[in-house]
A and B are shown apart, each in its own frame.
Chain A
């Protein structure tokens, strides 16, 4: 068996308790081990992506129990690329959290961070529906700790809402799994795919209920519209580097939709024919619309970025809900783009909020205004889908994939108008935050400002301490570099996502790899 598959789960799972138990009082060592762990995870992710790129599906039987009886981890192109994305996202964020001092504002940031990575990687790799639930819980319970990291009344209240919403989601998940199990008698995804295909269409009422409940759960995670209420308050009140990491969590929902509704309840299976696409697509379009309107309407930079996350999930799910190979390839490219762009904007929002209030409105100028403004506009261009960066390519691919869809007009209209509204909203926020500040300074505050020397020459409102601004900017620029690379190497990336989509829409290979038992 190929033991690399379990490594992305085992590494953080060992590192996190080690940090808690041994390095509890040594912040420097915690930081070193946490960064080393993320670098190691990146190395593992690159290795397994190289292994999966060939098109083979690798199966790892936990405890060596054969497939329908034991739990399996399955490595195919999709899980490999999602694990790689997790590692790529985690590295700049952990560096940023260290540089900005967020990790010392409360206890146990680094162990929780590692547990979060463990849960996310596990959710991407598992081939068992109940195990997916367990990894959801692992990532959620770590996220509860990270979300309330640093404390404060508002953050804790937002945390209560977030936990309540997600506990409801977990309960629903269990109801869905129970319903599906009671009909099929299995929870292994490959085995489920076989059983579901065998059930005669007139006998599937309960199974359809289970499938819809499961879709609801994934839609809660993915913040699809009627179920998105938890996201803005949670993300905006979480520590913003953590919110940047949470950019991957909505993608876990999208991944699960893609996995379950291509493999188990595929578009060709009579049970679920027309069940998912018909419901998901309008919901995704409304999500995109409301996200864009939220960007325009909000008064706070963190909430604005949270609505950016909702809007980009809308675009992503529009592509996923088409359930065609071309659209899925586009969606997978867009997953990479939107995760990196959302994380970038959250980190920029944190840079802003470390120096001034996050309210979108004129305030006295902050140190390093020009540099942060540049980063904000790079992020905004990427998020809105303007030409130079990968957002443009991603949205172009989604629109192109939707060209022959029955609702092509609606999709094109919503995506294009949504992008336009996003541009207006981000431009408004950017000009109010970064340009009006100079107006405010000339009117209210006549003292000469030291714009480029933040540390030694403090202006009248002393900026909060920022231990290593160089490292913070480096990690933000790392995300920018990721977006630029994604744009430059769009061709190879698309080749990979097309191959991934082809693999997803040929589930026989997955099923025979899991149930064949020859590994």
Chain B
């Protein structure tokens, strides 16, 4: 951890909507470059950063599309920036190509995905958990990303900061999974005195694309540091040279890109337990839906039902050990989709898994989760 950097916004309590909290968190986390393209319901992040970044000596640019936005972010990161973009499902679809590039070149960056109802243009201003699988599997090949799911405006702030640190620690794109409702929900947001920032690991003359061990994270130089960086989206050796035919280099690279995240899953994954001890029924939820789930769980417990909540703050890498450890007879997974993360839950547990879904673009209330809890 590097010394605490001065937070440009005075500490205190602010009444922020999710998108504002996200922009301020980025600045507090040392983000000094943002490139983006307008898209509902994420645009307020970009609008705020368009004037806030210049205030703190950062750079803002509105690019010609989302493909260019993520490209500019990656270019800026290699020029030395901590950088971010924000978008929604359809924009994310355009970014996927270069998210793959960020993965193979091990470029730390933060992508805020303010999800909305899809497919395609769908309902641009309605909330949805539509991109849970898109962020994990959308680009080609095998890879791991990190995805964090806040459930409050405060957590949008906290997890955006964490996203920057995780990106640096593992040299990987990190997603903050917000949605149309959280983006525009106004709540108290406490801005602390300062935040811990993970700096970029530098080591002169050391290869930037490989490590001695099979799961390590190499140091990272920036342009202009006389390191003669060779960066490519093709398969490459530790020094960056293209190796497009060598099977061993292909295998070692793909394995390391995956294992550097998976082998650190314990450090990355955060969950929150509510009434889990001895719970016969467990609701597994994330994002804003988890708030409805907690209300439903409390209500059910008043009625004598032994039910608990496991809230996932990290979606990827998937908290499979935490799910596996649940000693319940039934797991309920409410989501604002037809069932995305629930399939991961099913994959890792032998317990009966119940889907609770909402796809009409409305937020989920406690009622429908309570109904599922009560059903015998």
Whether chains A and B associate is no
